[in-house]
Amino acid sequence: MCPKSSGLGLVQVYTGVGKGKTTAALGLALRAWGRGLRVIVIQFMKVGEDYGEILALKKLSGIDLFQYGRDQLIIKGKHTEEDVRLARQGLKKATEALSGKKYDVVILDEVNVVTHFGIVTAEEVMDVVRSRAPGVEVVMTGRYAPQPFIDEADLVTEMRMIKHPYEAGVLARAGIEF
């Protein structure tokens, strides 16, 4: 067992329209797992197994993954009751995970978007994030991080798109984009 890291307990936000937000959170999960930290990934607005990261996490034991989404694209302003229910379930799971009993690193994947879409409010999410036990690190990803997340965070990186192959007509590729 590796020694536990000290100084955990900060809030990290990865946002912007460039590629690499969920990917960076996954890399962080891998790195933390390599150090023997206990990691959970809670994905909002995603469901199903057709993601390389899910196939990977299933192959390696030690990083827990939970998904709270429907198998359908949500259009901003057109979400359903079911979307709200799922997002709230995700936040409930996050609250448990942040208690510090089971996890050192809690990744809330796409939580920025679920908030931007108005499915849950920034205040609901901030209440959950602020409820974390000392020493539990929180990582929030997704485009359009609302300002309260940025204000609360200790670390914020904006992924800026300089070039993207979608622009050149390349479709999302298994193992690379998802």
Contacts to a copy of itself by CB under 8 A = 2-8, 10, 12-14, 16, 18-37, 51-60, 104-105, 137, 150, 153-165, 168, 170-171, 173-176, 178
Least distance (Å) between residue 105 CB and a copy of itself? 8
- Which CB sits closer to a copy of itself, 74 or 159? 159
- Which CB sits closer to a copy of itself, 41 or 86? 41
Residues in contact with 148: Cβ distance below 8 Å, sequence separation at least 6, in sequence order: 122, 123, 126
104 touches 136 (CB < 8 A) = yes
Least distance (Å) between residue 122 CB and a copy of itself? 17
Encoding tokens for residue 93? 């799971």
Least distance (Å) between residue 61 CB and a copy of itself? 10
Residue 72 Cα distances to 36, 111, 140, angstroms:
35, 17, 22
Least distance (Å) between residue 84 CB and a copy of itself? 29
35 touches 100 (CB < 8 A) = no
Burial of residue 115, with CB atoms counted within 10 A of its CB: 0-12 exposed, 13-18 middle, 19 or more buried:
buried
- Which CB sits closer to a copy of itself, 83 or 137? 137
- Which CB sits closer to a copy of itself, 133 or 161? 161
